[in-house]
Structure 1
């Protein structure tokens, strides 16, 4: 620590020595600032339960990153297939969970508790789903996004090919979400489980906050009480005062649900989990916007159902009412927005958006999920986790 006290006139030699020492200290400080900072280490955790068909692609995607991880760990959770052997063959270390009954959150809590003591506060930990492949620029972009205010960086997810019309509708939905993220400067509403990078110190703060009672969810890192641990983690990180980001360079490709029953169970878990997280957190500075979003979602769904009922009833009893210039123009603006927002998904997606009917049916499906989730929450029925 430098002594900045001014020298006294009674000792001019001391003053000369002090000024010379000060100049040397200044030069050393400038040199220290010019030296490149030591790069934080990057570790990756991939929770996996019987993922032998996909784990190799996930690991290879990580090795192809512009910023290669220092360590890849596959968290083999109650696996009964060849996931662990395939992971080891592709250069990953395998961590086997012990007695875990809490699905993904429990597996991650065990793995994080094992690896975090070996990491410095500024080191980075990436959590990635086993059915996901990251864009080659993901880790480099995410690392460059961190600053003192950003506590976690999540991916921008896109759907993989396949799945017929249902798969296409999901890809269109994901493209719209990516478009909205881009328009808002990459501010993440949810830290997606497909791929999210944390600073080690933030995870330590999350656990400390849970143990102190500032936030709920148990005493670990991820909440064991939530159906959607990623949504809950987003609120936990924000509650601690950090920002969450999803920059465009952090693209990930994940699976789409091939059938309506699978999509129903997936989205029902997402929606019910989001509502339960809001109930548990209550109205706060962080959750206020999420409450408003849920209200607007419900209001929009209800308005759409009322409009359809009115149109069907009107046409049934009075015939086709004709075209109103005002409402036709409003409808054209709506179609234009729907079309522009999926233009990057390809010409087929644009055509489906223009046709409107497929997406209207898809919206009705989503609305049914919303009201089913809300009714289950009000009745306090238990929503069981269903593998998709």
Structure 2
């Protein structure tokens, strides 16, 4: 029986209850139904069923490693569906090499699974369409394991996620800790960007772990969902599918809906996975703009299109802090540069050693975050302790922040999914340079205005400006120092 399918529409059959042993065995094409049923029926207690869905778009470089990592799990998913959409490379061909039943020998004995590959062709809903197609195939299972087409999990990741999910019926979904494997990365810019993203992901994961392990976003990278929770979220929001296409961040929206349905959204302290990072400025910009723009839509009061803003949702508190922090970082840096230039122009600058404290605290905080990484290497340490790389990366992120908010406030309709796909393939515009050009234009304009005003006005601006920047910087430094002293309770990211 062939396990490679070329279908456009999802099957209409849906299961309302978890699969029993014989049902699951039959879903594996009848290759070894008796053996598989025996494994389930002879296990102590209830053995949950896990259906894995891998949405894949042009993942020929990684899909083989993703599937192999799943087949090497100590707890292999009961069925694996690779849903290929809108692809133009050899993803289907490579994934098809794994199609069919697999009898695996592990520490706890034999395990059985089967891999199916579905090429659904051109799908206007892109990843959302692939996820919903996959859900229709596994909704009869107890859990849906969502895995991105470039995510390689540690060997016990599924086991850890399942153990915690089964142990608490209140859990609607659990995310693994995710990072980027920087060992195969080549090129100076790529290494710089990956080091920054590793620090960014580490800080995000750590924040969620320290918030009672309440995960703000059950990311598509590697998360397990209770199908009961998905059904309840769908019912509460009058949806026919778990994921909807009207949000730029489909995983964030679903996480909010699961939380609103009364379930917990958690992050595992043990399950880990390596995701694919962005190795070009253009690709990283497109990804971050899409994520930030989608988050703003969810945070913003009122409603745009079909997505209703939920500014007071508990899962969005971290988003508010992130955006406020970015705004503060932008103000302090631009104001400092402007005031410093103005002071130097009239010989009014007086150096104070107190200004060295904020960067030193920031370096110490970055170093502590780096040391919490499970696989911290010399590149992570150097990125933290050398001021220039982290500061340059912050300016890159500020560019994404400005582009996201300007695009949102302009109400300009942009397909951020398509923009990211084009950027990752090397196409797209040079829009990621727009914030830098805008900053240069603003500084030039301010310099011209500065030369036109008199010395009294110049002195007044400096007299008012420096204390304001000083107060904001002090508050920002106190916040960083508090994070530096905060207990991590042994968590490693």
TM over 0.5: yes
- In structure 1, how many angstroms separate the alpha carbons of the residues matched to 2:316 and 2:124? 32
What residue is the counterpart of 1:84 in the other structure?
92
1:306 partnered with 2:335: yes
What residue is the counterpart of 2:286 in the other structure?
265
What residue is the counterpart of 1:40 in the other structure?
48
1:274 partnered with 2:298: no
Instruction: Describe the superposition over 1:80-102 as per-residue Cα deviations: whole angstroms up to 9, x where unpaired.
Output: 43322322322421123366211
What residue is the counterpart of 2:363 in the other structure?
335
- In structure 2, how many angstroms separate the alpha carbons of the residues matched to 1:144 and 1:319? 64
Matched ranges for 1:1-388 at <5 A: 36-91=44-99, 92-97=115-120, 100-116=123-139, 118-119=140-141, 123-146=142-165, 147-161=168-182, 162=185, 163-211=190-238, 219-279=240-300, 280-286=308-314, 289-290=317-318, 292-293=320-321, 294-318=323-347, 321-325=350-354, 327-343=355-371, 344=373, 345-384=376-415, 385=417, 386=419, 387=421, 388=424
Query: Runs of 5+ in structure 2 lacking a partner?
Result: 1-42, 100-114, 301-307, 425-493
Q: TM-score, normalised by structure 1?
A: 0.82
What residue is the counterpart of 1:18 in the other structure?
none
SS of the residue 2:328 aligns to: helix
SS of the residue 1:252 aligns to: strand
- In structure 2, how many angstroms separate the alpha carbons of the residues matched to 1:290 and 1:239? 17
Instruction: Describe the superposition over 1:311-334 as per-residue Cα deviations: whole angstroms up to 9, x where unpaired.
Output: 343345437632334x43444222
What residue is the counterpart of 1:8 in the other structure?
none
Q: TM-score, normalised by structure 2?
A: 0.65
Q: Count residues in correspondence.
A: 343
Instruction: Pick closer, same or farther for the CA change 1:351–1:83 going to 2, 3 Å.
Output: closer
| More displaced stretch, 222-231 vs 89-98 | 89-98
Structure number, greater radius of gyration: 1
- In structure 1, how many angstroms separate the alpha carbons of the residues matched to 2:54 and 2:332? 41
Are 2:216 and 2:316, in contact at CA under 8 Å, matched by a contact in 1? no
Query: Runs of 5+ in structure 1 lacking a partner?
Result: 1-34, 212-217
- In structure 1, how many angstroms separate the alpha carbons of the residues matched to 2:353 and 2:200? 29
